[in-house]
Structure 1
């Protein structure tokens, strides 16, 4: 719109100039060109002032009057908030470090336990459970023991190589309990044989019990006592598998801790110091209450027999 008005103004100015040029007297034409030009310029300026009063810009407000603000609109973060974030990050890093250390410690402990179990499992496995004959009555138990002790010819009388009449009488004197719990009766009878130091008879009796009643409440007692019957009979090699089996079958069993400690004693008797030390270390870690309580005296005595690194 302003552009159109400017064009119209220029055109009007030109027309006026032409009109003035034709109306100037002949005498004025004799003036110098310079004078005429200055006069025409003054008239044009006067004409412009009439057509556009205030054309010097004083009457035209600028379209943008507000100056851009140089003040930054960004706010400085709160020092308290930043400090809190840094503190939380430090706490998280410390927690991650503790968890990493715990994972490494647990991994190392698991590796050591795995190695110990592998070494313990390398011991001979029980082999008498499947081949042991059913238990005979008290009177025939002595005859079976005689055959086990070396009777090879069926033509020979059992008395020639069997136990003495005094031993036979002593075994027969041990009564077998008769209650409503047959499994407990079998275990109790095996215990009585072992307690009377009839170890071969106790081995046979207890072997039958663990085969016939594998889930009985007395099974942990029976397996442990069977191992002791062999160990007390001077047969640590046959005793060790039963101790190990009783420990591995149920580590929370009533005599699992006892079996682990007796396993160490069997290894000591076999002069296997390495496995003895492993069993002793496992016992102290798994059953600390027993190591400082009921079995402390036996545990201390076993440790004194070997030098463990």
Structure 2
């Protein structure tokens, strides 16, 4: 294609001479058609423009041509040069498209292994009351006692210049005090109202823990998986993958527990040998993985 452009640069005749200009022109046209078929093998009229039909402006370097043949050749040369430029642009666009498709395929393949961990687990429920676990029962559950209400009310919500962070911190205080249902409700409100907040990775992970510590592993698992998949570089993504393994153990699903543990040690080796090492070793001792 570079040779074609070079030829175009020096192919402007002053006057027709023995048919040489016409022969050179036909050779250039053949090169353009060959380039088109190389870029779009099997292409049809949807991709190939018809042979030169428009008459571009004659170059200003030719003054008062003596014959119409000179004007015609110059116009066709201009059109050929424009075709070469369009072919180059199309080639670059195709390369970018292929690169973007490759990136999407790699991202999709990377999510497959994590998705297989809890393929049968339910998705996190939506709605402001999604955090509260509801079981099918004909018996109306008893409400909280006066003592519990008083204890919950005694836990103060922080008041800072970051209201979203205050919501998360309040959920943490409820969880830390052992008020798991209240923490579930509070943290669900936080993650649903603040999906892009920097604390959201903490909130989803802690919501999963609030369910897990409340003996509700089935409700905990989807939150752990979601937090891991949403942003694998998040501050608590590794923790969620580790606690996902614990949820699977609680559900007697050894196969998925082993998948989660293997992926945790491979993806987050610094956590497996650092902050979560003692817990990781203890959990590995609970299951026998191949």
* TM class, shorter-length: 0.5 to 0.7
Secondary structure in structure 2 of the residue aligned to 1:120: coil
Secondary structure in structure 1 of the residue aligned to 2:156: coil
C-alpha distance 170-305 of structure 1, shift in aligned 2 (>3 A):
same
Please say if 1:126 is aligned against 2:107.
Answer: no
- 2: CA distance, partners of 1:283 / 1:190: 26
- 5+ residue gaps, structure 2, are 1-106
- 1: CA distance, partners of 2:176 / 2:138: 26
The count of residues paired between Structure 1 and Structure 2 equals: 185
Alignment of 1:85-234 (within 5 A): 116-128=113-125, 130-133=126-129, 161-234=142-215
What residue in structure 1 maps to residue 229 of structure 2? 248
Greater relative contact order, per chain length (Cα 8 Å cut-off, separation 6+) = 2
- 2: CA distance, partners of 1:212 / 1:308: 39
Q: Which has the larger radius of gyration?
A: 1
Following superposition, the deviation at residue 256 of structure 1 comes to 0.4
**Contact preservation (8 Å) 1:151, 1:161:** no
**Contact preservation (8 Å) 1:207, 1:226:** yes
What residue in structure 2 maps to residue 285 of structure 1? 266
Q: TM-score, normalised by structure 2?
A: 0.58
What residue in structure 1 maps to residue 257 of structure 2? 276
**Contact preservation (8 Å) 2:164, 2:190:** yes
- 2: CA distance, partners of 1:151 / 1:185: 37
| Structure with the higher helix share, 1 or 2 | 1
What residue in structure 2 maps to residue 304 of structure 1? 285
Following superposition, the deviation at residue 211 of structure 1 comes to 0.3
- 2: CA distance, partners of 1:151 / 1:163: 19
C-alpha distance 178-114 of structure 1, shift in aligned 2 (>3 A):
closer
- 5+ residue gaps, structure 1, are 1-109, 136-143, 154-159
Following superposition, the deviation at residue 292 of structure 1 comes to 0.5
C-alpha distance 262-252 of structure 1, shift in aligned 2 (>3 A):
same
**Contact preservation (8 Å) 1:263, 1:276:** yes
Following superposition, the deviation at residue 118 of structure 1 comes to 4.0
Following superposition, the deviation at residue 115 of structure 1 comes to 5.8
Deviations along 1:106-147, one digit per CA (max 9) or x if unpaired, are xxxx9x96763341251424332x233399xxxxxxxx99x9
**Contact preservation (8 Å) 1:177, 1:188:** yes
Please say if 1:294 is aligned against 2:275.
Answer: yes
- 2: CA distance, partners of 1:209 / 1:117: 25
